[in-house]
Amino acid sequence: MSRITSKNPGTGSPVVIRDATEQDLSRMASDMIRYLPDGLFPHLGNHFVRRWMKTFLTERFGIALVAVSDDEQPIGFLIGSTNQVRHIADVLANQKWGLLLSGLAALSIRPRVLLHFLGTRARPYARRLLGRTASPVSSDRVIPSPAVITSLVVLPDRRGEGIGVFLMDAFLKRATADHARLAELATAAGAKGAGKFYEKHGWTCVEQRFSKDGMATSIYHRYLQ
């Protein structure tokens, strides 16, 4: 993706949206751990989160975007996929052993996280990571699947300036170009989540469920085509 420059409507200063690079991953991981701490992955530490985020750079259907200010300072990021089913299949085919070893190393030095993992996720993760990988699918065949925004973070002192909208719009344009018909995301339900933000920008809450950690979560959809 070429660099996309948008004018901040509040300040008039430019905001650049560009593809993330490996050099961005450490900062992105730190920001995710700090500002999106729910779920398992943030509790596995910066090294694992960087390793996981890298899959969004290397796999065909992954997207990793960074928002930077006019002085090139990172002020937000988004990771997701334009086809969630294919992205997960590609990650399992190409990256599962590296992710497995990195995850085991992280769990081995975090006994409380390990106990929580064993009680909430061990069986489904074992089936997914250690199960037989599906047969490769030819590159010209795309399995129908929603595009999914996995994480969207804007630094607290830059919120309310439209940066999240710039990141989201760049993602949706890429998803549309990749023939996705539906986009999906999850956020914490109620005041803890960003549901009002997404509803303001055309997303519809279609379901509420509890995560494996017992947190109430809202699922949002937005049709693209």
Model confidence pLDDT, tens digit, residues 133-192: 444 444 455 556 999 999 999 999 999 999 999 999 999 999 999 999 999 999 999 999
Q: How far apart are CA 131 and CA 71, in angstroms?
A: 47
Q: Among 6-15, 52-61, 97-106, 196-205, which stretch is predicted with the lowest mean pLDDT? A: 6-15
26-29 long-range contacts (CB < 8 A, ≥24 apart) are 26/50, 27/74, 28/53, 28/64, 28/66, 28/74, 28/77, 28/79, 28/153, 29/53
What's the pLDDT at 104?
A: 95
pLDDT of residue 125: 84
pLDDT computed for residue 70 by the predictor: 85
> Looking at per-residue confidence, does 154 or 70 come out higher?
154
